[in-house]
Amino acid sequence: MTEAASQSQFTPRVFSGIKPSGGLTLGNYLGAIKRFVEMQGPDFETLYCVVDLHAITVWQDPAELRTATREVAASYLASGIDPEKSILFNQSQVSQHAELGWIFNCVARVGWMNRMTQFKEKAGKNAEKQSLGLYAYPSLMAADILLYHATHVPVGEDQKQHVELTRDIAAKFNHDYKTEFFPLTTPVIEGPAMRVMNLRDGTKKMSKSGESDMERINMLDDADTIAKKFRKARTDPEALPDTLDGLKERPEARNLVDIYAALSDQSPEAVITEYAGAGWGQFKPALADLAVEKLAPISSEMQRLLDDPAEIDRILARGSERARAIAAPILERTYEIVGLVR
Ligand code: AMP
Ligand code: TRP
C-alpha cells in the first residue's frame, strides 16, 4: 500500500503539546499556540495537551509544576483554544500515554535515540547524570501522537526530528506486526516563526530556560518590559534592506523581521517592503507596539483565568475524559496486536 493510501484511512486529527516547565515565551506563542488556534476548525479534530509527564524529565518543584500546568492551560484558552471545539487536557490524566510509551520503548532502537540532537544539546557533557526519562522522552512523544492516530502535528522547527522519529516508530511497529495500524504523521512546520531566536544572540533559539530574561519575551511580560527588551535587543548598525536577501548574514535583524511578520500575519517580504531603509530607532518601537497590542489581551486573560484555578482544573478533567474515549480503544487494540492477553 502506498503511504498516501494508508494515510487516507485515518480521520484528519491534530495533536500537539507544550511542557509545563517554566514560563511561556513568544517562541511558544508564535511557533506553537497561535498555530494551534489556526488549525482549530472544520478540517481537523484537534487535541491540545499540557505534557506534564515530559516536564518531569528534568527536576520540577511540585508546587511550581502545578502552577506551570495551569499556566499552559490558561495560555491555550486565552489565545483562543475553545475547549468545546478542541480537546484540551493534561497528559498525566490519560494513563494510556505512559502505557503506549512503554510499548514504543520496545519498538524504538537505542541507535535512533542516540541520534536525537535535543538530548545531546540538553545533556551536554553530563549525559551520565541525566534522567533515563530525558533520554526516552521522544518515544513518549511518539506515544502522545500515535495514541490518537494523529495525522498532523504543528510544532516549531526544534521538534522536527522527534516527529520524524514518531514516523519511524509507527513504520517499524506496522512492519514488525504486519499491520497498517498507526499512521505516518505529518509534521506541520510553517510560517515565519517556526524558529524564533534569542534577542541577545540571533544564532540561538529563544527558550524558557536561557540564562538571561532579556533574551526572551515572556507571554506574561508587561508592556514596559516588552518595549525594553526589544529596545535592548541586539542588532547591527545598518538600516533595513529592501529585500530579504540583504538579511542573509544578519541573524538578529532577520529574527526581528520574522517576529514582526508572524505577529502581523504578513510575509517577511511584505515587512521588508514596508520598512525598507528604516533604522532600528523606527523599527524597534513599531515592533514593540505590535507585540504589546497582540500579547496584552492574551496575558490579561491568562491572569484572569489563573485567578480561578478550580475552573481550569475542571476544563482539564473534562478534556481528559474526552481524550481517554479516543485513546482507550487504540491502546486496547495495540495490546491485542502485540499479543498481550486481555
Ligand atoms: P516546549 O516549550 O519545549 O514544550 O515547546 C512547545 C512548542 O513550542 C514546541 O512546538 C516547540 O517547537 C515550540 N517552540 C518553543 N520554542 C520555540 C521557538 N523559539 N521558536 C519556535 N517555536 C518554539
Ligand atoms: N517535545 C515537545 C517539546 O519539547 C513537547 C511535546 C511532547 C509534543 N509531546 C508532544 C509536541 C506531541 C507535539 C506532539 O516542545
Q: How confident is the model at residue 5 (pLDDT cuts 50, 70, 90)?
A: very low
The per-residue pLDDT for range 180-218, each reduced to its tens digit, is 999 999 999 999 999 999 999 999 999 988 889 999 999
| Distance in Å, CA 245 to ligand 2 centroid | 33
- Establish if 199 belongs to a structural domain: no
Q: Which ligand is nearest to the CA of 54?
A: 2
Question: Do residues 84 and 42 share a domain?
Answer: yes
The per-residue pLDDT for range 311-342, each reduced to its tens digit, is 999 999 999 999 999 999 999 999 999 999 99
Task: Let me know: does 71 contact 92? Beta carbons within 8 Å.
Answer: no
> Across the chain, what does the average pLDDT equal?
96
How many angstroms separate the CA atoms of 195 and 156, rounded? 6
The per-residue pLDDT for range 223-247, each reduced to its tens digit, is 999 999 999 999 999 999 999 999 9
Kind and range of the H or E run holding 17? strand 13-18
- Establish if 201 belongs to a structural domain: no
Q: Give me the pLDDT at residue 2, please.
A: 47
Q: How confident is the model at residue 6 (pLDDT cuts 50, 70, 90)?
A: low
Question: Do residues 260 and 323 share a domain?
Answer: no
Domain with 96 in it:
3-194+308-338
CATH at residue 233: 1.10.240.10
- Establish if 207 belongs to a structural domain: no
The per-residue pLDDT for range 244-295, each reduced to its tens digit, is 999 999 999 999 999 999 999 999 999 999 999 999 999 999 999 999 999 9
CATH at residue 53: 3.40.50.620
Q: Show the cell assigned to 321.
A: 475524559
Question: Do residues 183 and 224 share a domain?
Answer: no
Question: Do residues 34 and 133 share a domain?
Answer: yes
User: With a 6 A CB cut-off, is 144 part of the ligand 2 pocket?
Assistant: yes
Which residue among 85, 160, 172, 208 is the active-site one? 208
For residue 22, count other CB atoms closer than 10 A to its CB.
15
| Distance in Å, CA 18 to ligand 2 centroid | 6
Q: How many domains does the chain have?
A: 2
Question: Do residues 243 and 267 share a domain?
Answer: yes
The per-residue pLDDT for range 83-134, each reduced to its tens digit, is 999 999 999 999 999 999 999 999 999 999 999 999 998 888 888 999 999 9
Closest listed residue to residue 153, CA positions, set 72, 46, 60, 230:
46
